[in-house]
Amino acid sequence: MIVQSGSIGGTIMEYTAAVAGASGYAGGELLRLLLDHPQISIGALTAGSNAGTPLIQHQPHLRPLADRVLAPTTIEELRGHDVVYLALPHGQSADIAQQLGDDVLVVDCGADFRLNDPHAWERFYGTPHAGTWPYGLPELPGQRERLAGARRIAVPGCHVTVATLAFLPGLAEQLLEPDLTVVAVTGTSGAGKAPKPNLIGSEVMGALSPYGVGGVHRHNPEMVQNLTAVTGEPVRLSFTPVLAPLPRGILATCTAPLKPGVTVDQIRAAYETTYADEPFTHLLPEDVWPSTAMTLAANTTLLQVTVDPDAHRMVAVAALDNLTKGTAGGAVQSTNLALELPEETGLPLTAVAP
């Protein structure tokens, strides 16, 4: 950590950050955001099989880092930084984190430390549970206080972020029955950079395809964990993700039955009140519906909510960029809180269009 004198006589704290998994999509998005962060400088960049190759070979859009070569992901490379981001495959973060000191802020973009229930972890991931860290979704009630000063942070899954924010006001105000349905259309970057036959262009272009159907997607228990905590009663969830021919973005349609007597005005008021002061989660004006394009490369979640009177259900539609607010932006947002910096520091509100 470097302390510099401020322009008005104060001090400015500057931190160094290492990124493990810098050649992947999440790692690349972290670096894009950190390049614009005024108080975090980029230190070691590491990778697994891509170690020894130039970063620019994998992240050609990151021109300011064109001279960097990826180092192997070892403790020796990661030590000595104030912040270590782990953008690694699930199951690979725990061993590294154990070897980093308690004075280091470790931010895991994988799933290793998200779940509270060891049985749920073992059921969906098939390995022993590594533990539970403070959860990097600041919009949850009381979560900002838990993240302040934290030295370990577990970043939520991207589908989890959008579904949690779509349901949170209605459940927190006890306006909805806890019988939830989520259908989320998502881009291919959520599956990572490793080549997979079902993700090549000729398979994806011009096609929509469901996956993880029937309660088997790994984000299921994380959604249930969050939303059960919000409403205080057991939640039933049906989640169906749908792969779409776009590189990034999630559009989630989230529905639930209304509790008796609940009106559309009560629903809208709950969302307006909950998100009135949120820097990155925004309820759109009535009759304006979100699209993934509205959030491209921005650390925002955009929502619209209504009531289907014939079905007696709330319908919330939410959009975010799965790589920004859904992963790397959420990681930086939580980092800012842990370092006691302004939460918005270095994070874009403006999307890219067209």
Enumerate the active-site residues: 158
Neighbours of 261 (CB within 10 A): 7
Q: Is 224 exposed, middle or buried (0-12, 13-18, 19+ CB in 10 A)?
A: buried
**What's the token pair of residue 16?**
């160094």
Instruction: Note the helical H segments in the chain.
Output: 25-34, 55-58, 75-78, 93-99, 118-125, 143-147, 158-172, 201-204, 220-231, 264-275, 329-338
Whole-number Å distance between alpha carbons of 344 and 351 = 15
Residue pair 112/93 in contact (Cβ under 8 Å)? The answer is yes
DSSP-assigned letters across all residues of 9-73: S-EEEEEEEEEETTTSHHHHHHHHHHTT-TTEEEEEEEESTTTTSBHHHH-TT-GGGTT-BPEE-
Whole-number Å distance between alpha carbons of 347 and 299 = 6
How far from 119 is each of 47, 124, 131, 165, 199, CA to CA, in Å? 31, 9, 12, 25, 31
